[in-house]
Amino acid sequence: MDLLIINPNTTVSMTKKIDEAAKKVASLNTKITAVNPSDGPVSIEGYFDEVFAVPGMIGEMQKHPNADAYIIACFDDTGLDAARCVSNAPVIGIGEAAFHIASLVAGTFTVVTTLSRSIPAIKHNLGKYGLLTRCAGIRASEVPVLDLEKNGSDAYQKISDEIGRALLDDRAEAIVLGCAGMADLAASLSAKHHIPVIDGVSAAVKLSEAIVQLGIGTSKWGGYRRPVAKEFKGIFAPFSPK
């Protein structure tokens, strides 16, 4: 099985970390390919950055049209709906993957993310998915995304502190880590706090494998129909749907 994981930002070190996290949990006969676009922001922190990450992300899908499933490795599930339009195969966002897995092992979960500016986007996604009532809280550690890539940062401690508060103040029953860049922290945080801690990258890998093996693809009814054939002008001409 071929899984294409797209890190929608342009930071190669993060793509590499995502690739490693994915390979750690992938089944033997799953081939993981992690890519990132060459055009776009170096990290995605809020609505503005998303706009300039998604065209390149779609471009990566178009370059790899034969994957068995696609994973969008940004916790905001940026561009997920559009990506589903161009694929018969399943397309899974790491945010939704983490929310669904958490909902299968706990009554409620708290999200611990990077910057507080990302909270509204996460809340909107949860509302759209239907899982807002399962969410006990969304907490910002105020760790910028790229600090997660630096040695010696206090990111781990700040995230761990928010988990402590989630247990006490939110009565959280599970924790969802709110950034692809936290993929390597889940196991240690889970052991420390004695609570399921879910990383979206690994969750999305296992869910993608599961859905592919079930023989189920993205519905082509409703909003995920194939794009209408039409002209795209200028720099976006190459993306025109036919």
Contacts with a copy of itself in 10-49 (CB under 8 A)? 10, 25, 27, 37-43, 45-49
51-56: long-range contacts, CB 8 A cutoff, minimum separation 24: 53/8, 53/9, 53/78, 53/79, 54/8, 54/78, 54/79, 54/82, 55/236, 55/239, 56/8, 56/10
Residue with tokens 């630096």: 150
Choose one: 15-23, 77-85, 151-159, 177-185; the region binding a copy of itself (CB under 8 A): 77-85
CA atoms within 13 A of residue 59's CA, in its CB half-sphere: 16
Told to check if 92 binds a copy of itself by CB under 8 A, we report: yes
Which residue from 16, 85, 156, 161 is in contact with a copy of itself, where contact means CB under 8 A?
A: 85
Site for a copy of itself in 178-197 (CB under 8 A): 187, 194-196
Task: Identify the CA nearest to 178 among candidates 104, 125, 106, 107.
Answer: 125
Q: At 189, list the tokens.
A: 């945080």
Non-local CB neighbours of 39 within 8 Å, separated by 6+ positions: 10, 52, 55, 56, 59
Told to check if 163 binds a copy of itself by CB under 8 A, we report: no
Choose one: 14-22, 80-88, 148-156, 177-185; the region binding a copy of itself (CB under 8 A): 80-88
Give the β-pairing of 135-140 and 175-178: unpaired
| Closest distance to a copy of itself from the beta carbon of 112 (Å) | 15
Q: Which is nearer to a copy of itself, 154 or 232 (CB)?
A: 232
Q: Which is nearer to a copy of itself, 34 or 207 (CB)?
A: 207
Told to check if 101 binds a copy of itself by CB under 8 A, we report: yes
Count, residues near a copy of itself per rule CB under 8 A: 99
Residue 78 φ then ψ, to 5°: -65, 130
Choose one: 13-21, 155-163, 177-185, 216-224; the region binding a copy of itself (CB under 8 A): 216-224
Told to check if 201 binds a copy of itself by CB under 8 A, we report: no
Site for a copy of itself in 129-158 (CB under 8 A): 129-134, 144
Across the strands, what pairs with 33? 4
